[in-house]
């Protein structure tokens, strides 16, 4: 097998530049998905469930793209055709922030948002994977540390742009609030701008990147070939066989990844609620999810009504929103309780079924089942949403700075552990700080593990891989990113409920502390990693210094 030649700085840069545009789209999603679905009317305890889609699509798409691209040879290249498809589909990102603009019922708007989110995640994963593979294909082991550091720098630079878009647009006069259930224009236009930048970055990559032809790729990557009918073909291996033969580093690095990605899943899901309540004192709204009362014989009547009227047609509850406290109702009030609420699919007008008259002689006998949520229509909530983008940008800046420092550690594992522990401190403090500017420190620290997660896992893994299945292995390795997020998304609502009373404001700040604890476990697991080949970070540091 021939040794891959050293590449100049700008060739290394061009291999990863498209990541800048991809990461803008990813940043807009990371900072705004919880804000968007909360605005559409989602319960805070359900927010984590919406985050199942991003890793699920990655789990489905990236191994397939990795495997297929290993077997693809076209005049456009091996990896680039998948980049083109992903970038074109990414235009659908414009639909996500418009899910609340069609005057649909809450459930319908949320469903539309989920479909748009699924398509956006599919496109991001299709566009992201080729850039990871190109480094594995064309960069030698000596330069991989630098190549992934450049990729990390571009990734975080793109994140900064995506994170600050809504804040900057608000500063120049774009409206940052909207009617109930509608996403503010500042967020909508940010997604439009992100889609445009992504397409421009992909065009740049197609012009600047020239992939090796099949025979050159085979020479530099030690591909085993077989001859059939006089033609030379790459020997193919199925994914199950690849997993069985995977190097030990695949599994040990994957264990560290498990705890790291759960932590960041919780950050993306719960930072909006944490910052809005702790730092911006966002007002709250009470919603009734159900109530119980006894009739004249003492029998229990249970209802989960969404619409309650008094005898004089004064609304007490409308669509679950408590407009008049039950304690303020005069005794002997007559209530109309809607046992069921539906929607006429043709007129979209709400109608009531099973309406019952209940005479409440003692309002104290009414047991209300309700929960408290942040008022997503308020100026405070939307200001907090923009500020979260700034904090995420600070995290990205911290990651960029830390990515410069990382190669200078002589021990890759030590720098990995240190990064995760610094991040743990950042997460815990982010859950406790109530000053919006003091949170800068928290998110600078959170940038440290993010930089390490982007650089070291892929460096360690690709240094242990040989042959022509690098793309397939990187696709499979993406499962160590996706599966933890899916588990975290499923468990997030349950953990949040366990941290507080279901009828009180959800303690989203507590999930930031849980994220910090998860990173501590990840740091402990780094000790299981045994690097099998590749150069030390000291030699990478020397190259960076040059």
- DSSP conformation letters of 136-203: HHH--HHHHHHHHHHHHHHHHHHHHHHHHHHHHHHHTT-----STT---HHHHHHHHHHHHHHHHHHH
Shared domain for 196 and 328, answered yes or no, is no
Last residue of a domain, one of 321, 356, 374: 374
pLDDT average, residue stretch 377-381: 92
Q: Which helix (DSSP H) or strand (DSSP E) does residue 301 occupy?
A: strand 300-303
> 471, exposed or middle or buried, with CB in 10 Å at 0-12, 13-18, 19+?
buried
Shared domain for 60 and 135, answered yes or no, is yes
Shared domain for 83 and 180, answered yes or no, is yes
The pair of structure tokens assigned to 1 is: 């097998």
Question: What's the total number of domains in the chain?
Answer: 2
A 10 A CB-CB count for 262 gives 25
> Which residue carries 């046992």 as its tokens?
339
Contact 408, 541 (CB under 8 A): yes
The pair of structure tokens assigned to 460 is: 């360690």
Q: How confident is the model at residue 239 (pLDDT cuts 50, 70, 90)?
A: low
DSSP 320: T
Decide if 233 is inside a domain.
no
Shared domain for 84 and 214, answered yes or no, is yes
Q: Which region among 28-42, 69-83, 113-127 has the lowest average model confidence (pLDDT)?
A: 69-83
**Listed residue (500, 391, 402, 491) closest to 441, CA to CA:** 391
Contact 100, 40 (CB under 8 A): yes
What does the pLDDT look like over 154-198, one tens digit per residue?
887 888 899 999 999 999 999 999 888 899 999 999 999 988 888
Q: Which helix (DSSP H) or strand (DSSP E) does residue 5 occupy?
A: none
pLDDT at 399 exceeding the cut of 50: yes
Decide if 314 is inside a domain.
yes
Contact 191, 96 (CB under 8 A): yes
Q: Percentage of the chain with pLDDT > 70? A: 75
Q: Which helix (DSSP H) or strand (DSSP E) does residue 126 occupy?
A: helix 106-138
pLDDT value at residue 431: 97
Decide if 3 is inside a domain.
no
Last residue of a domain, one of 307, 340, 374: 374
Is 350 strand, coil or helix?
Answer: strand
Shared domain for 357 and 400, answered yes or no, is no
Distance CA 193, CA 24 (A): 9
Q: What angle do helix axes 439-463 and 141-171 make, rounded to 10 degrees? A: 150
pLDDT at 338 exceeding the cut of 50: no
- DSSP conformation letters of 38-66: HHHT--GGGHHHHTTHHHHHHHHHHHHHH
Shared domain for 362 and 384, answered yes or no, is no
**Listed residue (265, 267, 280, 522) closest to 392, CA to CA:** 267
Shared domain for 123 and 146, answered yes or no, is yes
Shared domain for 428 and 498, answered yes or no, is yes
Q: Which domain holds residue 321?
A: 284-374
pLDDT average, residue stretch 79-102: 79
State pTM to two decimals: 0.76
pLDDT at 407 exceeding the cut of 60: yes
pLDDT average, residue stretch 532-539: 43
Average pLDDT, the chain: 78
DSSP 213: P
Dihedral Cα 225, 226, 232, 233, nearest 10 deg? -70
Look at the alpha carbons of 408, 413, 417, 423 in this order and tell me if their dihedral is positive or negative.
positive
Last residue of a domain, one of 329, 357, 374: 374
DSSP 469: -
Q: Which region among 23-37, 109-123, 315-329, 423-437 has the lowest average model confidence (pLDDT)?
A: 315-329
Contact 427, 267 (CB under 8 A): yes
């Amino acid at each position: 097998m021939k040794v891959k030649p050293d590449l100049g700085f700008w060739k290394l840069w061009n291999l990863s530049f498209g990541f800048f545009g991809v990461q803008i789209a990813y940043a807009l999603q990371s900072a705004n998905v919880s804000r968007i679905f909360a605005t559409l009317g989602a319960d805070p305890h359900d927010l984590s469930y919406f985050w199942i889609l991003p890793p699920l699509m990655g789990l489905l798409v990236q191994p397939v793209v990795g495997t297929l691209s290993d077997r693809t040879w076209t005049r456009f290249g091996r990896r680039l055709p998948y980049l083109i498809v992903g970038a074109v589909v990414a235009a659908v990102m414009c639909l996500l922030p418009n899910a609340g603009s069609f005057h649909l019922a809450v459930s319908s708007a949320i469903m539309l948002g989920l479909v748009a989110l699924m398509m956006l995640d599919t496109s991001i994963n299709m566009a992201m994977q080729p850039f990871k593979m190109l480094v594995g294909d064309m960069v030698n082991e000596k330069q991989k540390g630098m190549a992934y550091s450049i990729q990390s720098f571009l990734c975080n630079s793109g994140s900064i742009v995506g994170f600050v878009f809504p804040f900057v647009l608000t500063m120049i006069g774009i409206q940052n609030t909207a009617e109930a259930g509608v996403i503010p224009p500042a967020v909508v236009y940010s997604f439009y701008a992100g889609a445009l930048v992504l397409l421009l970055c992909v065009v740049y990559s197609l012009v600047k990147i020239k992939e090796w032809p099949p025979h050159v790729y085979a020479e530099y990557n030690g591909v085993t070939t077989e001859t059939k009918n006089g033609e030379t073909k790459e020997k193919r291996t199925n994914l199950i066989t690849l997993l069985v033969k995977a190097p030990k580093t695949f599994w040990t690095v994957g264990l560290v990844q498990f705890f790291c990605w759960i932590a960041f899943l919780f950050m993306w899901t719960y930072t909006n609620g944490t910052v809005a309540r702790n730092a911006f004192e966002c007002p709250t709204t009470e919603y009734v999810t159900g109530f119980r009362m006894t009739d004249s014989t003492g029998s229990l009547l249970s209802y989960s009504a969404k619409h309650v009227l008094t005898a004089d047609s004064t609304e007490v509850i409308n669509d679950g929103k408590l407009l008049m406290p039950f304690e303020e109702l005069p005794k002997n009030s007559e209530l109309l309780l809607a046992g069921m609420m539906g929607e006429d699919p043709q007129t979209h007008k709400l109608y009531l079924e099973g309406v019952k008259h209940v005479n409440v002689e003692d309002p104290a006998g009414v047991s209300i089942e309700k929960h408290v949520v942040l008022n997503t229509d308020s100026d405070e909530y939307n200001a907090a949403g923009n500020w979260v983008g700034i904090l995420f940008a600070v995290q990205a800046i911290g990651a960029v700075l830390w990515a410069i420092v990382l190669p200078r550690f002589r021990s890759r594992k030590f720098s990995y552990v240190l990064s995760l522990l610094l991040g743990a401190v950042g997460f815990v403090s982010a859950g406790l700080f109530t000053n919006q500017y003091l949170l800068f420190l928290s998110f600078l620290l959170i940038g440290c593990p993010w930089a390490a997660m982007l650089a070291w896992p892929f460096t360690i893994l690709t240094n242990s891989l040989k042959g022509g299945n690098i793309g397939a292995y990187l696709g499979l390795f993406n499962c160590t990113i996706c599966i933890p997020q899916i588990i975290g998304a499923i468990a997030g609502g349950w953990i949040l409920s366990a941290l507080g009373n279901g009828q009180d404001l959800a303690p989203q700040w507590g999930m930031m502390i849980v994220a910090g604890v998860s990173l501590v476990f990840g740091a402990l697991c780094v000790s299981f990693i045994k690097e099998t080949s590749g150069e030390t970070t000291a030699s990478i540091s020397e190259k960076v210094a040059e």
